[in-house]
Structure 1
Amino acid sequence: MTEPAPVTLTPAREGIATLLLDRPQRRNALTRAMWGAIPGLLEQAAADPAVKVLLVRGAGGCFAAGADIAEFRTALADRAGAEAYAGDIARAMDGLADFPKPTLALIEGACVGGGMGLALACDLRFAAEDARLGITPARLGLLYPLGDTRRLVEAVGAATAKDLLFTGRLLGAAEARDLRLVDRVHPRAALEAAVLAYAAEITAASQWTVRQTKAMIRRILAGQRHDDAETLAMFLDTVEGADFQEGWHAFLDKRPPRFPFV
């Protein structure tokens, strides 16, 4: 019997679930089995109405040291194998980037290479102040795939993306925040509480608004500049929706809203 991949989805607690990379003995270096397991776990979380926010983190005080280079000897042995291996990784990365609910990366320790790629596929990144981050294909003579490169450029801009990819240098959390590679930095002891508090703010908001907003921003990042029939319908559906009706009535009644959409 094949052993389960060391990546798990924890049940939602107060609307917050966790995708956990659980291979701490190897600093959560991502095996092919782990890449392959991620899309199914994301589908499970997307379908679960109890999940409003998904945290992505690593076990043992480390986010992920990247893809497991020990597998390269076989996974990248020929062109066909390399294409299949890259497809496994792309499905995991794209699945996280396209996940319909908010995703937050909780970054401790090393967040390098494929680990940084996973973090960039999340909506927001929160790092411990002693975290070390980097994107290191230049140290291996490898090329970062287009999807991962695009997400990096969207986060930090073209010039900074070139800097990080050309050099493969590692960054401290403060510099990573200054470059917009991460969004917020906290002391390690306070990081989890800060992320959970932020996630709770999202779970208290209208989930209809949150998810439609994420879909709208995805369109903008894909190049859409003007409303079309679909985006206009998104807006009108919201105006007619139960969450908006509850929201403005609650405002006039001076009470907290009880949004029905889950």
Structure 2
Amino acid sequence: MSDAVEGLNLTISGDAATLTLNRPERRNALNQAMWRGLPAVLDQARAARVKVLVVTGAGGAFAAGADISEFEAVYATRASAAAYFGEIGASMDALAAFEAPTIARIEGACVGGGLGLALCCDLRIASANAKLGITPAKLGLMYPLSDTRRLVEAVGPSRAKDILYTGRILPADEALSIGLVDAVTGDVDAAVEEKTRAIAAASQWSARATKRVIRRLLDGQTADDADTEGWMLDAVEGQDFLEGRDAFLAKREALFPFR
């Protein structure tokens, strides 16, 4: 477990790591120390070569957003605001760029910067009581370009405008219907465990390569280049393919070695 950053707990169990936002008394609102510390905690998970990273919150909420009690200090000057935005952006980008598949386990409030973090994850699994929204319009602020892009990628431009223009809070079933989350369940722990197990059982080499390819597609690449062609050829020469091929021929479960 990582306790280097108060409010961020990292636990590793087998193939998976769980990053818990742990300020339940504030519904896990993210303070500046948490934003600053998040990239280093992700580095710990990366060093452990986990196959899946689950991001969640303690005490029945995912995260109620950035800690508004710090706003007077962090927005005191243009320079302090720029530094604060930079810290948040670096944390978001670090989670979005995490090499292994990531799952946001969402229950309760998932608002503002909390939903921003969830959108940095590859998959979002929500409990039926989840409430999701992005509320800069209620504060006279605006959402950064990279965060807005991730929202648009999830729900499309028109629905993103609706969410951002109104600042309204969406119930879980509506979030599912527009693609803001990928699943809604009455047992979020069981659903996340099942998805984690399925991802961990498959080839991690394939998962990581697929994540890179999808990122390139979303960034506008329309045809293979030397990198993507090289990755396909690397796969053919890789130990995971040899194990997958042999397991298929032997009609047994594959035990992929790549981590």
1:233 is the counterpart of 2:221: no
Provide Cα deviations, 1:61-118, integer angstroms capped at 9, x if missing partner: 1000000011010101111000000001001100000100011000010000000000
Aligned runs of 1:177-192 on 2, under 5 Å?
177-187=176-186, 190-192=187-189
Aligned to 2:57: 58
Aligned to 1:164: 163
The unaligned stretches of length 5 or more in structure 2 are none
Give the aligned residue type for 2:83: A
Aligned runs of 1:1-262 on 2, under 5 Å?
4-11=5-12, 13-49=13-49, 51-187=50-186, 190-262=187-259
The unaligned stretches of length 5 or more in structure 1 are none
1-side partners of 2:211 and 2:47: how far apart? 17
1-side partners of 2:231 and 2:42: how far apart? 24
The TM-score normalised by the length of structure 2 is 0.97
Give the aligned residue type for 1:194: A
1-side partners of 2:6 and 2:215: how far apart? 30
Identity %: 59
1-side partners of 2:128 and 2:171: how far apart? 8
Give the aligned residue type for 1:173: A
Once the 2 structures are TM-superposed, how far is the Cα of residue 245 of structure 1 from its aligned partner? 1.1
Once the 2 structures are TM-superposed, how far is the Cα of residue 174 of structure 1 from its aligned partner? 0.2
**Where does structure 1 differ by over 6 angstroms across 4 or more consecutive aligned residues?**
none
Once the 2 structures are TM-superposed, how far is the Cα of residue 14 of structure 1 from its aligned partner? 2.5
Once the 2 structures are TM-superposed, how far is the Cα of residue 222 of structure 1 from its aligned partner? 1.0
Once the 2 structures are TM-superposed, how far is the Cα of residue 249 of structure 1 from its aligned partner? 1.4
Once the 2 structures are TM-superposed, how far is the Cα of residue 8 of structure 1 from its aligned partner? 1.5
Aligned length: 256
The DSSP-based 3-state class of the residue aligned with 1:143 is coil
Once the 2 structures are TM-superposed, how far is the Cα of residue 180 of structure 1 from its aligned partner? 0.5
